[in-house]
Amino acid sequence: MKTLICIPAHNEEDNIAEIIRACQKYGEVLVIDDGSTDNTFEIALQTALVIHNPPGSQYGDGFIQGCEWALYKNGIQVVFMNAGGSHFPEDIPRLLKGLEGNDMVIGSRILRHSVCRQPLIRRPLTYLATRFLGLLVGEKRVDYSSFRAFNYWAMVVAYDLAKSLPKETRLFNPLLTYKLYKSGLKIKQAPISYRAINNQLHLEKFIQVAWILLKYMIRSKRLNIGSNR
């Protein structure tokens, strides 16, 4: 089965050529340039398919653009990964292997055989965030990593859900993960290697996401109660 590897990128001129070369071993590469102000677009265009979004575009915009491109390629598998070096292309085969019998695979930083290189100061927040998300969807812990593989049907579902979500990266990824679990897709987590590329905690984003997720859950329960009357 053919594979499309989508790489949303913003100002990644130092990394994008190497990421493209490494990913091309595993499928066709599509770079979605989210309004870069450096030479990301020009460098990517030399070796890959490229979509150029206007300045101010965010990760969610790039995700939607990648899905729209994939919609015209029936029967493919779709992988999304970061361009900044936090994800490793050599993990792509493990995610694709996980699609056997599943609709979607999340490249997880939190499983037993995962390798997660992040500052100690960030680890408690990662634990809380993945534990909280797991609690909401009925799992022990769920990573909201943006390194993901979809079969074609799951990609269509993700595309439909993504259009209504806030597009900023640290809001978009956990909210989309929650909605995908609630959509009834068969989802698996697979261990990956991960390297943090900044030391920011983003505690305010965690609180914001937690509040939005709780509202989603409460609203969903109300709708279910109403439908049973």
Q: What is the pLDDT of residues 96-123, one digit of tens each?
A: 999 999 999 999 999 989 999 887 777 8
Q: Are strands 3-9 and 77-80 parallel, antiparallel or unpaired?
A: parallel
Q: Specify the range with the lowest mean pLDDT, choosing from 1-5, 8-12, 200-204.
A: 200-204
Q: Report the Cα–Cα distance between both ends of the chain, in Å, rounded.
A: 45
Predicted structure pTM score: 0.88
Residue 228 pLDDT > 70, yes or no? no
State residue 38's pLDDT score. Answer: 94
**What does the DSSP 8-state code read for residue 74?**
T
3-state SS, residue 211: helix
State residue 121's pLDDT score. Answer: 74
Mean pLDDT of the chain: 89
Q: What is the pLDDT of residues 9-40, one digit of tens each?
A: 999 999 999 999 999 999 999 999 998 999 99
3-state SS, residue 98: helix
Residue 225 pLDDT > 50, yes or no? no
Distance between CA 129 and CA 7 in Å, rounded?
24
Strands (E), 49-151: 49-53, 77-80, 104-108, 115-117, 148-150
3-state SS, residue 78: strand
